[in-house]
Amino acid sequence: MTVRVRFAPSPTGYLHIGSARTALFNYLYARHVGGKFLLRVEDTDLARSTEESIRSILDGLAWLELGHDEEIVFQSDNADKHRATAKKLLAEGKAYRDFTPKAAQSDANVKDAIKDRARANQGEKNMRDNPYRSLSAEEGDARAAAGEPFAIRLKVAETGKSSFEDGVYGLQERDYAETEDLVLLRSDGHPLYNLAVVCDDIEMQISHVIRGQDHLTNTHKQVLIYEALGIIPPTFAHLPLIMAPNKGKLSKRKHGEVVSMTTYRDAGFLAAAFRNFLALLGWSAGEEKEIYTLAELVEKFSLDGIHRSNAIFNFTENDPRRWTDDKAQWMNAEYIRTMPLDELLPFVRPELKAAKLYRDEYEDDDKAWFENTINLIRQRFFTLKDFSNQGRAYFSEDYDFDPAAIEKNLAKFPDLRSWLPELAERFEVMDSFTEPEIEEVVKAFTEEKGTKLGIIMNGARTLLTGVAVGPSMLSVFETLGKDRSILRLRSQIAWNV
RNA sequence: GUCCGGUUCGUCUAGGGGUUAGGACACCGCCCUUUCACGGCGGCAACACGGGUUCAAAUCCCGUACCGGAUACCA
């Protein structure tokens, strides 16, 4: 049997980090076993679903390079089939019409209202006491024909339990007494989530359902529907949840942009790095290696390596350095400085182009210079954004000076104001401008002035790059070249800031 | 409330009867160095608690605590 898995987001927001990981795991599983990875948009909640959200989710998946097979299925397109299925179960006596008027929305928070209701019912509640459960078919038909509104509920057996073998959590059992006769079709004719999911999974011939652990109880309900339909359920595997630093729910409302996939794309993360980070949140290959290419993840992935405990996505609100998980930031930096240069370049070019720092010559005449420079400066960069921010001085004459750098490297040494232009004079007469010669000249100059090499180098760094950190200054001089180095050493701009 | 899960350094995790409980991130220190967010070396730091089983428990069993999820004519 072919393995077919699906990622089924409901389009009520952007691609959440937890959903992204669910998509990733589905993708990895499918690719690992040579199966299909399908996409289904669960847009049955017409009120909350938006076109924009669908686009944002697809953007997120595309960024992560989780390409899906076959056409995207829109759940709302299948509503008629869902209704037909509910009617079928009704006709077979496996479901019944519930004429109880729809309860008015409580003014309390939905979750709290549910909790309160459950607590109030506690001990007393018999899940099978719906008065309409045993209504005769004739009377039901008559009342329906008379136009009385009704919901269709699944008739859950009095005794017994639902069970399934979870790919991650093992055998799961739930007594029928814990499960209400669930509503399949609302009184306004709209199919409910559990029915829609089961119908679509059957229709799409899904073999493995891999989703968040928050669906564990839904799965029992869905198993019941499969049984009523006489269809063998797929294999289920539930994933541990990704929590906020306080172990609470990670949500847009509370935590903002950190949970959105597009945030990382826009912040200059490499999809490969973020994917790698995500893969290790709740899964491990059981080895100490932690940098994996997509192909390696596909090769190593298995349900056995998925944990049963939730993971915390660690970040500190209001701390610019810790705005997102440290490890994700480290991993991105690691990718930027160690991945093959030709794989990095395709990401650097658009970044520079967007900042108007790219020139066509970087493709031909200055290709070697460009690649060497990127290779030189990437060693201390964390995101793609750094190429256009901190790296700006390498590609443009119009760059800013970091006040902290001026303070630390220039202001403290007023002599540099005349020394650096003077150093430019020494450069002026040089025939060859490469590291060894530059070093010789700068050292001689330093000795002559009776100062320390660091003072000269750091002053020059500030003037030439605008920042206090970067590669070896000898490399910087050489990369920038004789003319630009001289020009910048003579410039008084930084001194007047 | 009830049901279902979970619990190894601050975080991500390895290990699943005998380990100095390993790695990574973060943090701290030292080294390299003209700076540094690179690199090298080192340090700090964990088996939730209580009972059992066993020669031996972080590992198996039970209980407790705590955390999470679920409870809907939402998805």
User: What confidence tens digit (pLDDT) does each residue in A157-204 have?
Assistant: 999 999 999 999 999 999 999 999 999 999 999 999 999 999 999 999
Q: What is the CATH number of the domain that holds A311?
A: 3.40.50.620
pLDDT, greater one: A106 or A402: A402
Position A331 confidence tier, pLDDT thresholds 50, 70, 90: very high
pLDDT of A121 strictly over 80: no
Question: What's the pLDDT at A123?
Answer: 59
User: A364 in a domain, yes or no?
Assistant: yes
User: A104 in a domain, yes or no?
Assistant: yes
Structure letter (DSSP) for residue A384: T
Residues A331 and A344 in one domain: no
CA-to-CA separations, A76 to A45, A73, A79, A201, A206, in angstroms, rounded: 9, 9, 5, 14, 18
Token pair of A214 as six digits? 């928050």
Residues A323 and A353 in one domain: no
Q: What is the CATH number of the domain that holds A132?
A: 3.90.800.10
User: A59 in a domain, yes or no?
Assistant: yes
Position A47 confidence tier, pLDDT thresholds 50, 70, 90: confident
* A366-389 average pLDDT score: 94
User: pTM of the entire structure?
Assistant: 0.94
The Cα–Cα gap between A25 and A28 comes to 5
Question: What's the pLDDT at A490?
Answer: 92
Residues A106 and A36 in one domain: no
The Cα–Cα gap between A5 and A260 comes to 23
pLDDT of A46 strictly over 80: no
pLDDT of A253 strictly over 90: no
User: What confidence tens digit (pLDDT) does each residue in A63-73 have?
Assistant: 999 999 999 99
The Cα–Cα gap between A442 and A422 comes to 11
Residues A471 and A407 in one domain: yes
Residues A454 and A492 in one domain: yes
The Cα–Cα gap between A38 and A4 comes to 7
* A312-332 average pLDDT score: 94
User: A210 in a domain, yes or no?
Assistant: no
Count of Cβ atoms closer than 10 Å to residue A376 Cβ: 18
The Cα–Cα gap between A230 and A234 comes to 13
Report ipTM (2 d.p.): 0.95
Q: Is the CB of A183 under 7 A from strand B?
A: yes
User: A108 in a domain, yes or no?
Assistant: yes
SS3 A311: strand
Position A48 confidence tier, pLDDT thresholds 50, 70, 90: confident
Residues A377 and A457 in one domain: no
Question: To the nearest whole number, what is the mean pLDDT of chain A?
Answer: 93
Question: What's the pLDDT at A124?
Answer: 59
User: A282 in a domain, yes or no?
Assistant: yes
User: A214 in a domain, yes or no?
Assistant: no
Nucleotides of B under 7 A from a protein CB: 1-8, 10-15, 22-26, 33-39, 67-75
Residues A347 and A295 in one domain: no
Which domain covers residue A458, as residue numbers?
400-496
Q: State, as a whole number of angstroms, the distance between the CA of A266 and the C1' of B37.
A: 21
The Cα–Cα gap between A240 and A305 comes to 12
Q: Mark out the alpha helices in A1-103 (DSSP H runs).
A: 17-33, 51-63, 79-91
Token pair of A178 as six digits? 């814990």
Nearest nucleotide to A103 (CA to C1') is: B73
Position A127 confidence tier, pLDDT thresholds 50, 70, 90: confident
Per-residue CB contacts under 7 A with strand B, chain A residues 194-253 = 194, 213-218, 240-241, 243, 247-249
Structurally, how many domains does chain A consist of? 4
DSSP labels, A325-361: -HHHHHHHHHHHHHS-HHHHHHHHHHHHHHTT---GG
Residues A333 and A353 in one domain: no
Per-residue CB contacts under 7 A with strand B, chain A residues 288-327 = 288, 290, 305, 307-312, 314, 325-327
pLDDT of A106 strictly over 80: no
User: A179 in a domain, yes or no?
Assistant: yes
The winner for highest mean pLDDT among A102-106, A276-280, A429-433 is A276-280
Q: What is the CATH number of the domain that holds A469?
A: 1.10.10.350
Question: What's the pLDDT at A107?
Answer: 66
Position A247 confidence tier, pLDDT thresholds 50, 70, 90: very high
Token pair of A3 as six digits? 């393995």
Position A122 confidence tier, pLDDT thresholds 50, 70, 90: low
Q: Is the CB of A470 under 7 A from strand B?
A: yes
Nearest residue to B39, CA vs C1'? Answer: A379
Token pair of A14 as six digits? 């952007």
Q: Is the CB of A117 under 7 A from strand B?
A: yes
CB A208 within 8 A of CB A2: no
Position A129 confidence tier, pLDDT thresholds 50, 70, 90: confident
Question: What's the pLDDT at A494?
Answer: 82
The Cα–Cα gap between A273 and A263 comes to 14
The Cα–Cα gap between A116 and A112 comes to 6
| Distance from the Cα of residue A331 to its chain's centroid | 14
The Cα–Cα gap between A193 and A185 comes to 9
| The length of chain A, given as a count of residues | 497
* A225-229 average pLDDT score: 97
Question: What's the pLDDT at A252?
Answer: 84
The Cα–Cα gap between A471 and A335 comes to 18
Site of tokens 């100062």: A451
Residues A438 and A478 in one domain: yes
Residues 6+ apart with CB under 8 A from A303: A29, A167, A168, A210, A237
